[in-house]
Amino acid sequence: MADNMIKIAGVRFRENSKVYDFDAVDIDIVVGDKVIVDSERGSGFAQVVRIRKNENPFAEPSLSAPSLVRGETDAKTEEGEKTSVADRQHVNEQASKTLRKILRKATDADMVQEEKNRVREEEAFAIAQDMIAEREIPMKLIRVEYSFDASRATFFFFSETRVDFRELVKDLAHKLKSRIEMRQIGVRDVARLIGGFGPCGRELCCASFLKNFEPVSIRMAKKQEMVLNPSKISGVCGRLLCCLSYEYEMYDEIKKDLADMHEAESKDKKEDDSLHLEEERRLADEKRRQEDRRRQEKQKEDSQELVRPEARTNHMQGKKPQPQPEQPRDRQQPQEQKSQQPQQHGEKAGRKKRRRFWRKKKKGQQHGDVKPQGPEKA
């Protein structure tokens, strides 16, 4: 089982730099030791910050496992053991190729060399600053790092635009007598290299424990219902706070649950409103039907009173209504004409009496034997 595990050491070149993994299989080290590593820029001076053991991805348990087939001879078993040892060595070589190795533990001479490199970095920084100001190059120098053997000097700078630094590199190489590398970095990397404290009062996350910069958007601040004030949600680098992404997933899940709850509540409310509207509509229709029924009954009563006014008078006088002969439909007259016929008949009879009276009077005056008399009373 031990052959399937490899020891990996996490080292840091600077106090606030990223942690890199190196192979530490053949070296006995503990956390806090100073070591010399084989980096991409040559030999490097670093400090061990963590040690862990991972399972070897290239290991094959079947190679080292004992044979389970019965009847095999001792010669075959010994041959299998020799084969497994050779295979384990091959697997370890493949695993070591995936990670760079830690060369050795740092000695006192290495410590002195590292101190000299730090002094050279300060001098190179001052020289580069003077050259940049003299040429008026729009760039801000952040840090200078020397490799352990002082053969390479890396200058980290920040600029919002593209910078032509070819002449600057030539002058620095001639002045410092080493290979020069210029590297442009962003504002977040500037904050990581310089360090500092955030608005929360603690050390910057990027300078303390963050390995990589996760993408942060204004949507995260909105999801967490934060005040969208740039001074409240921005860090010392001027960008959105990295800590906005720490609790975003939890807030997102809670918001989804709340959204489902609000959706269900709004759905229930709409159903209640629709039922209430249907009930109101039903009551209004019922009331309208009752009013129409009352109006029809009233119209029916009024029509009956207009058609038979004599029946009502006879009823008031205590007389029984006499049946009237039915008339053909084509000869029936309107109700108003029927009510006006008795009145018209009385007027005609009065006119006939008056005409008869005046004819008699006129005849009497002609013969002279009739005295004038007043009209007869009807």
* DSSP symbols for 19-41: EEEEE-TT----TT-EEEEEETT
Look at residue 378 and tell me whether its pLDDT is greater than 80.
no
pLDDT band at 281 (very low <50, low <70, confident <90, very high): confident
The rounded mean pLDDT for the chain is 76
Q: How many CB atoms lie within 10 A of CB 357?
A: 14
Look at residue 119 and tell me whether its pLDDT is greater than 90.
yes
Whole-number percent of the chain with pLDDT over 90: 14
Between 328 and 366, whose confidence is greater?
Answer: 366
Provide the token pair at 145: 């790092």
Q: Which residues share a beta bridge with 157? A: 141, 184
Task: Parse the chain into domains and list their residue ranges.
Answer: 2-66+81-106, 113-245, 252-315
What average pLDDT does range 353-363 have in this prediction? Answer: 82
**Strand-strand pairing, 102-105 and 42-55:** unpaired
Between 201 and 98, whose confidence is greater?
Answer: 201
Provide the token pair at 211: 């390995």
Q: What is the pLDDT of residue 368?
A: 60
Q: What is the pLDDT of residue 231?
A: 86
Q: What is the pLDDT of residue 320?
A: 53
CA separation, residue 118 to residues 148, 184, 195, 261 (Å): 10, 21, 18, 60
Look at residue 322 and tell me whether its pLDDT is greater than 60.
no
Q: Around 313, how many Cα atoms within 13 Å sit in the side-chain half-sphere?
A: 6
pLDDT band at 318 (very low <50, low <70, confident <90, very high): low
What average pLDDT does range 25-50 have in this prediction? Answer: 86
Q: What is the pLDDT of residues 301-317, one digit of tens each?
A: 877 777 665 555 555 55
Q: What is the pLDDT of residue 229?
A: 87
Between 207 and 91, whose confidence is greater?
Answer: 207
Look at residue 123 and tell me whether its pLDDT is greater than 90.
yes
pLDDT band at 99 (very low <50, low <70, confident <90, very high): confident
Q: What is the pLDDT of residues 200-239, one digit of tens each?
A: 888 888 888 887 788 888 988 888 888 888 888 888 888 8
Q: What is the pLDDT of residue 169?
A: 92
Q: What is the pLDDT of residue 210?
A: 81
2-35 b/e with 16+ CB inside 10 Å = b? ebbebbbbbbebeebeeebebbbbebebeeebbb
Q: What is the pLDDT of residue 313?
A: 56
CA proximity to 243, closest of 221, 219, 227, 211 = 221
Q: What is the pLDDT of residue 130?
A: 92
139-175 b/e with 16+ CB inside 10 Å = b? bebbbbbbbbebeebbbbbeeeeeeebeebeeebeee
Look at residue 35 and tell me whether its pLDDT is greater than 60.
yes
Query: Residue 185 carries which side chain, given as an amino acid letter?
Result: I
pLDDT band at 101 (very low <50, low <70, confident <90, very high): confident
